[in-house]
Amino acid sequence: NAGVTQTPKFQVLKTGQSMTLQCAQDMNHNSMYWYRQDPGMGLRLIYYSASEGTTDKGEVPNGYNVSRLNKREFSLRLESAAPSQTSVYFCASSEALSTGELFFGEGSRLTVL
Protein backbone atom coordinates (compact mmCIF):
# COMPACT_ATOMS: atom_id res chain seq x y z
CA ASN A 1 0.00 0.00 0.00
CA ALA A 2 2.56 2.56 -1.17
CA GLY A 3 0.26 5.52 -1.98
CA VAL A 4 2.39 8.24 -3.56
CA THR A 5 6.06 7.47 -4.16
CA GLN A 6 8.67 10.08 -5.04
CA THR A 7 12.26 9.66 -6.12
CA PRO A 8 14.88 10.72 -5.33
CA LYS A 9 14.43 11.72 -1.69
CA PHE A 10 17.56 13.86 -1.66
CA GLN A 11 19.53 15.50 -4.46
CA VAL A 12 22.31 18.05 -4.68
CA LEU A 13 22.81 19.86 -7.96
CA LYS A 14 25.11 22.52 -9.28
CA THR A 15 23.67 25.62 -10.89
CA GLY A 16 22.77 24.89 -14.49
CA GLN A 17 22.42 21.14 -14.11
CA SER A 18 19.18 19.42 -15.00
CA MET A 19 17.24 16.72 -13.21
CA THR A 20 13.86 15.03 -13.10
CA LEU A 21 11.81 14.23 -10.02
CA GLN A 22 9.69 11.15 -10.45
CA CYS A 23 6.30 10.55 -8.89
CA ALA A 24 3.98 7.57 -9.07
CA GLN A 25 0.69 6.80 -7.35
CA ASP A 26 -1.06 3.47 -7.03
CA MET A 27 -4.50 4.72 -5.97
CA ASN A 28 -5.93 5.05 -9.49
CA HIS A 29 -6.27 8.81 -8.96
CA ASN A 30 -7.00 11.05 -11.90
CA SER A 31 -5.33 14.24 -10.69
CA MET A 32 -1.71 14.81 -9.71
CA TYR A 33 0.22 17.81 -8.45
CA TRP A 34 3.68 19.14 -7.76
CA TYR A 35 4.23 21.54 -4.86
CA ARG A 36 7.28 23.17 -3.39
CA GLN A 37 7.58 23.92 0.31
CA ASP A 38 9.75 26.77 1.52
CA PRO A 39 10.11 28.10 5.08
CA GLY A 40 7.53 30.77 5.83
CA MET A 41 5.83 30.35 2.47
CA GLY A 42 3.85 27.18 2.94
CA LEU A 43 3.16 25.04 -0.10
CA ARG A 44 3.00 26.58 -3.52
CA LEU A 45 1.60 24.78 -6.52
CA ILE A 46 4.04 24.42 -9.40
CA TYR A 47 2.02 22.39 -11.92
CA TYR A 48 -0.92 20.08 -11.81
CA SER A 49 -2.54 17.51 -14.05
CA ALA A 50 -6.30 17.23 -13.83
CA SER A 51 -6.31 13.98 -15.77
CA GLU A 52 -4.07 11.87 -17.96
CA GLY A 53 -2.96 13.88 -20.96
CA THR A 54 -3.47 17.33 -19.44
CA THR A 55 -1.18 19.63 -17.50
CA ASP A 56 -1.65 23.17 -16.22
CA LYS A 57 0.49 25.80 -14.59
CA GLY A 58 0.10 26.54 -10.94
CA GLU A 59 1.31 29.45 -8.90
CA VAL A 60 5.08 29.15 -9.52
CA PRO A 61 5.73 27.30 -12.82
CA ASN A 62 8.76 29.23 -14.06
CA GLY A 63 11.88 27.10 -14.43
CA TYR A 64 9.96 23.82 -14.38
CA ASN A 65 8.38 21.43 -16.85
CA VAL A 66 6.13 18.46 -16.22
CA SER A 67 5.06 15.32 -17.98
CA ARG A 68 2.02 13.22 -17.20
CA LEU A 69 3.49 10.01 -18.55
CA ASN A 70 0.38 7.93 -17.85
CA LYS A 71 -2.32 7.82 -15.21
CA ARG A 72 0.12 6.70 -12.52
CA GLU A 73 3.14 8.89 -13.18
CA PHE A 74 3.78 12.62 -13.12
CA SER A 75 7.34 13.89 -13.40
CA LEU A 76 8.83 17.32 -12.70
CA ARG A 77 11.89 18.49 -14.61
CA LEU A 78 14.31 21.27 -13.84
CA GLU A 79 16.07 22.07 -17.10
CA SER A 80 18.69 24.44 -15.69
CA ALA A 81 18.67 24.44 -11.92
CA ALA A 82 19.07 27.69 -9.99
CA PRO A 83 19.77 28.25 -6.27
CA SER A 84 16.25 29.70 -5.95
CA GLN A 85 14.94 26.22 -6.69
CA THR A 86 16.44 24.85 -3.50
CA SER A 87 13.36 23.53 -1.76
CA VAL A 88 11.43 20.49 -0.65
CA TYR A 89 9.22 19.18 -3.43
CA PHE A 90 6.03 17.26 -2.80
CA CYS A 91 4.04 15.26 -5.25
CA ALA A 92 0.37 14.70 -4.47
CA SER A 93 -2.65 13.06 -6.02
CA SER A 94 -6.42 13.14 -5.67
CA GLU A 95 -9.34 11.24 -7.12
CA ALA A 96 -10.31 14.23 -9.20
CA LEU A 97 -9.69 17.96 -9.28
CA SER A 98 -12.92 18.75 -7.52
CA THR A 99 -12.73 16.27 -4.64
CA GLY A 100 -9.91 18.10 -3.06
CA GLU A 101 -8.36 15.71 -0.57
CA LEU A 102 -4.71 15.39 -1.48
CA PHE A 103 -2.51 12.42 -0.75
CA PHE A 104 1.13 13.43 -0.49
CA GLY A 105 4.39 11.70 -1.11
CA GLU A 106 7.22 11.91 1.41
CA GLY A 107 8.97 14.76 -0.34
CA SER A 108 12.21 15.31 -2.22
CA ARG A 109 14.78 17.65 -0.73
CA LEU A 110 16.68 19.44 -3.50
CA THR A 111 19.71 21.65 -2.94
CA VAL A 112 21.13 23.72 -5.77
CA LEU A 113 24.62 25.06 -5.17
Partner 1 sequence: AQSVSQHNHHVILSEAASLELGCNYSYGGTVNLFWYVQYPGQHLQLLLKYFSGDPLVKGIKGFEAEFIKSKFSFNLRKPSVQWSDTAEYFCAVITTSGTYKYIFGTGTRLKVLA
By beta-carbon proximity to partner 1, the closer residue of 19 and 45 is 45
By beta-carbon proximity to partner 1, the closer residue of 19 and 50 is 50
- Dist CA 28 CA 65 (whole Å): 23
Q: Which of 29, 47, 105, 110 binds partner 1 (CB under 8 A)?
A: 105
DSSP reduced 3-state for 79: coil
Segment interacting with partner 1, rule: CB under 8 A, options 8-16, 22-30, 35-43, 79-87: 35-43
Check binding of 2 to partner 1 (CB under 8 A): no
Indicate the DSSP class of residue 60: -
For 6, 40, 73, the CA distances from 21, given in Å and listed in that order, are 7, 23, 11
